[in-house]
């Protein structure tokens, strides 16, 4: 699990949004039981990147 999250974080730092989404999706597929945590982590990464609109998306998706 951790390698997927680290890769997602590196993708955000490289401003590679598609790769970031792919890594998070792989993490969710690998560990669906912690999807809420993964969504919160995704929001945290987007906040750190000052992409506040994108930070809302994982939170909205976790409420479905």
Contact status, residue 12 vs residue 22, Cβ threshold 8 Å:
no
Does residue 3 surpass a pLDDT of 80?
yes
For residues 19 and 42, what is the distance between their CA atoms, to the nearest angstrom? 13
Residue 64 CA: distances (Å) to CA of 35, 39, 48: 12, 12, 24
Residue 58 makes CB contacts below 8 A (sequence gap 6+) with 24, 38, 39, 40, 42, 43, 46
**Which DSSP letter does residue 15 get?**
T
Q: What is the pLDDT of residue 4?
A: 97
Specify the pLDDT at position 64.
Answer: 60
pLDDT for 6: 96
The string of pLDDT tens digits covering residues 13-57 is 999 988 999 999 999 999 999 999 999 999 999 999 999 999 998
**pTM of the entire structure?**
0.87
Choose between 23 and 61: higher pLDDT: 23
């Amino acid at each position: 699990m951790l390698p997927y999250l680290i890769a997602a974080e590196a993708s955000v730092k490289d401003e590679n949004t598609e790769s970031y989404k792919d890594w998070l999706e792989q993490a969710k597929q690998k560990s669906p039981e912690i999807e809420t945590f993964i969504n919160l982590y995704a929001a945290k990464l987007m906040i750190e990147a000052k992409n506040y609109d994108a930070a809302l998306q994982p939170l909205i998706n976790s409420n479905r």
